[in-house]
Amino acid sequence: MSSDASSLRKFRFAAGGEGNADEGGARRFVKLAQKAEELGFDSFMIPDHLGNQVGPIAALGALAIATDKIRLGTAVLANGFRHPAILAKDAATIDVLSGGRLELGIGAGWMKEEFDKGGIDYERPGIRIAKLEETLQILDVLLRGQECNFDGKYYQIKGLTGSPRPRQGPRPPIAVGGGGPKMLALAAKYADIISVATPTSKEGKLLLSGVTLEKTMERVDRIREAAGDRFDDIELNWTITTIVITDDREQTAEMALAALDQGFPPNIEVDTKLSVEDILSSPYLAIGSFEEIADQIRMVREKTTMSYVGVFPTQMDAFAPIISQLKGE
């Protein structure tokens, strides 16, 4: 379902970084965020993994001081790694230190291997989602600087008042990411920003069928149904996983299909056969000249109402000229 231009949100653009060795390590990390600010990105997001990356909470504290305007956030925290009372305290502190620039992204946690390595219980999906729902209710109260009394199945909070009081009112925005129906329904109920992701297999591989425009529109419709009256207040985000600047879109798409046939990239489960057109219209793939990619992003927003575009750390520079084409639209 497409919307008329007047009802569409303005574009926003998110960069990201992990502070891993490929990016030049933790010390280069601050420079990466400063560069994102210079290039015109609206926000800078840090993922949350126990592997090769900086700790997101500590890193956000540093970025709060080292940057001026760019919004700062997490994409997304694994709920199982932290207790919500502690997380609320850290998040409120970062919002104050940054002058009200926090976007708090949180999810159920999905990389079983990391939970196992860290000795943290990795419960079945139903429990992880139920815990996340309790966390979202607790954060909503504590991040308003209010007193929280919560008697849940997994968390109990008794008379705790959120402090420090965040700079943003009524509280910093909360973002939830998801690709499956349960997570999208949960996000629709509580989140201010929803990251519309591609669904994954039980092993954590991305399902190729999920990258098409058609399937993405179905996910947005699911959010629309679950959100009801809230839908217009929710900002929808997605992340472009691959950017290829080329003057021959079709040939590049054919090469991408050939690579998938050969089992590359290995983190994708080929559960369907896609056409060149499927590849070129996918929200998650940006192939073409700067102008063609800008037009494609406009088309995705028109068809899905998604307006908040994220890119991976390694593709920040490649994407910068596209921002200047879309800024303010």
Q: How far, in Å, CA of 216 to CA of 303, rounded?
A: 10
Model confidence, pTM? 0.94
Q: What is the pLDDT of residues 174-201, one digit of tens each?
A: 999 888 899 999 999 999 999 999 988 8
Nearest to 2 by CA among 292, 230, 299: 299
Average pLDDT over residues 61-76: 97
Q: What is the pLDDT of residues 272-284, one digit of tens each?
A: 999 999 999 999 9
- Dig out the tokens for 293 from the structure: 């990619």
Residue 137 has pLDDT above 80, yes or no: yes
3-class DSSP state of 36? helix
- Dig out the tokens for 185 from the structure: 């329904």
Instruction: Give the per-residue pLDDT at 3.
Output: 52
Judge if the upstream peptide bond of residue 76 is cis by omega within 30 degrees of 0: yes
Q: What is the pLDDT of residues 3-12, one digit of tens each?
A: 555 589 999 9
Tokens 């399937």 -> residue: 215
Average pLDDT over residues 73-78: 96
Kindly compute the dihedral angle of the four CA atoms of residues 18, 162, 84, 172, in this order, to the nearest 10 degrees: -40
Q: What is the pLDDT of residues 251-263, one digit of tens each?
A: 999 999 999 888 8
Q: What is the DSSP string of 61-84?
A: HHHHHH-SSSEEEES-EEGGGS-H
3-class DSSP state of 246? coil
Average pLDDT over residues 131-156: 98
Contact of 91 with 171, CB cutoff 8 Å? no
Pairing of strands 102-107, 174-178: parallel
One-letter amino acid at 289 equals: S
pLDDT > 70 in the chain, percent: 98
Instruction: Give the per-residue pLDDT at 227.
Output: 97
Average pLDDT over residues 146-175: 98
Q: What is the pLDDT of residues 195-252, one digit of tens each?
A: 999 988 877 788 999 999 999 999 999 999 999 999 999 999 999 999 999 999 999 9
Q: How far is CA 302 from the centre of its chain?
A: 20
* Exposure class string for 146-157: b at 16+ Cβ within 10 A, else e: eebebeeeebeb
Instruction: Give the per-residue pLDDT at 257.
Output: 92
Domains located in the chain, CATH noted: 10-324 (3.20.20.30)
What is the C-alpha radius of gyration for the chain, rounded to an integer number of angstroms? 19
Residue 1 has pLDDT above 80, yes or no: no
Residues in the chain: 329
Q: How far, in Å, CA of 169 to CA of 86, rounded?
A: 20
